[in-house]
Amino acid sequence: MRGDGFVSEKLATFLEQNITELKQKGLYNVIDPLQGANGPMITIAGQQLINLSSNNYLGLATDDRLKQKAKEAIDQYGVGAGAVRTINGTLELHIQLEEKLAQFKQTEAAIAYQSGFNCNMAAISAVMDRHDAILSDELNHASIIDGCRLSRAKVIRFNHADMDDLRAKAKEATQSGQYQKVMVITDGVFSMDGNIAKLPEIVEIAEQYDLITYVDDAHGSGVLGKGAGTVKHFGLSDRIDFQMGTLSKAIGVVGGYVAGKKQLIDWLKVRSRPFLFSTSLTPADTAASLEALEILMNSTELVDQLWRNGDYLKQGLKKLGYDIGMSETPITPCIIGDEQQTQTFSQRLHELGVYAKAIVFPTVPRGTGRARNMPTAAHTKEMLDQALSVYEQVGKEMSII
């Protein structure tokens, strides 16, 4: 053992060099633990802040109805599911959740996973292999990128939302005769920019070239299509093979899922590795997710409130002169650019009581650092007004607006 506790000199050097470098470049992320719930206001180190960084779009993470269902599920089933789904970790609750998800997405069936990230790991590689190719938008989420890698299919990136580029690459891939199957995969709503995928054109290209269609709707579900998601928003429910989503954002809990044709879901249940080899969702998470879907399917009240708040903040930031990029949904970035300046900007917001986390490389491309704002249904107009006044002060102070 070395004096610093590492066994390996190589590991010690690797960590020391890389952490120092990240810190010098302003890329070293510091984590702020919350003292309490992740609601519209949060407390960090004793300071109350307006929270513009959570994915809890509808405020459901702290909803009393969900909490009640989670408690009842713990009393009835305990805290853990006890096994992987395919041994005996499938509770009736899981089946109810999957049936509800299928209704929610208007598909024949659905399969639930332990997270959205592991869902993408699971589902892509269950269907695609080294004889196949995947056309992937260059701004797709990290879990899609990793899921594609895991499948060992050839990954062909197309320029962000560039349908001419996608069409050309789809044509080339399918006509080369090199690949058995070709998939096109995209975020429904892009999480760092808040723009919506051009699904009608993607579907048209897919139908022309016989592509498998896969939409990751982590940020669209509970937000677009009166809550049902981006695919529903465009009326394409029967033309997308994989409607992937997460239970951790608008749904407010944790977990992931794919909704689609029954045969596809049957295949995922026998072939996707996290379903076979990782313990199923806890009873509390499953019951709370079910309740959230119930709420969403019965009323658009929370979704409507989310959009009112989103539009209000977006218009306010725009009026102040911020560059909000391509945003068309409640996700509203204020693009600052330089990484170091972005960190300083976000830090200054924090000092003045607004939590809008700096998002920098590698989460977004270099030179496009931003403070990303996620207004939710739970924010009040007073909170948003206060946030806007802080944005005005800091923007002027730093000569950004």
Ligand X SMILES: *Cc1c(COP(=O)(O)O)cnc(C)c1O
Alpha helices in 28-63 (DSSP H): none
Question: Which parts of 218-237 interact with ligand X (CB under 6 A)?
Answer: 218-219
- Residue 291 near ligand X by CB under 6 A: no
Judged by CB under 6 A, which stretch of 16-24, 67-75, 212-220, 295-303 contacts ligand X? Answer: 212-220
Among 59, 194, 229, 256, binds ligand X (CB under 6 A): 256
CB of 398 to ligand X, least distance (A): 29
Backbone angles phi, psi at 137, to 5 degrees: -60, 135
- Residue 253 near ligand X by CB under 6 A: no
Tokens for 52, please give them.
């513009």
CB of 157 to ligand X, least distance (A): 16
Tokens for 346, please give them.
């976000």
**Pairing relationship of beta strands 182-187 and 369-373 according to DSSP bridges:** unpaired
Tokens for 119, please give them.
């869902």
Q: How many residues does the chain have?
A: 401
- Residue 275 near ligand X by CB under 6 A: no
Residue 219 annotated among the catalytic residues of the structure: yes
Instruction: Measure Cα distances from 132 to 138, 151, 174, 176 in Å.
Output: 18, 9, 10, 12
Catalytic-role residue among 69, 219, 232, 357:
219
Contact 137, 198 (CB under 8 A): no
Q: Which is nearer to ligand X, 100 or 141 (CB)?
A: 141
Tokens for 83, please give them.
């096994």
CB of 102 to ligand X, least distance (A): 19
- Residue 116 near ligand X by CB under 6 A: yes
* CA dihedral sign of residues 350, 141, 309, 286: negative
Among 57, 77, 104, 117, binds ligand X (CB under 6 A): 117
Q: Which is nearer to ligand X, 59 or 274 (CB)?
A: 274
- Residue 179 near ligand X by CB under 6 A: no
Residue 154 annotated among the catalytic residues of the structure: no
- Widest pairwise Cα distance in the chain: 63
- Residue 115 near ligand X by CB under 6 A: yes
Backbone angles phi, psi at 95, to 5 degrees: -65, -40
Write down the residue that tokens 């989503």 correspond to: 245
Q: If you ran DSSP here, which 8-state letter would residue 196 be given?
A: B
- Residue 191 near ligand X by CB under 6 A: yes
Question: Which parts of 357-396 interact with ligand X (CB under 6 A)?
Answer: none
Residue 249 annotated among the catalytic residues of the structure: yes
Contact set with ligand X (CB under 6 A): 115-117, 120, 141, 143, 187, 191, 216, 218-219, 246, 248, 256
Active site residues: 191, 219, 249
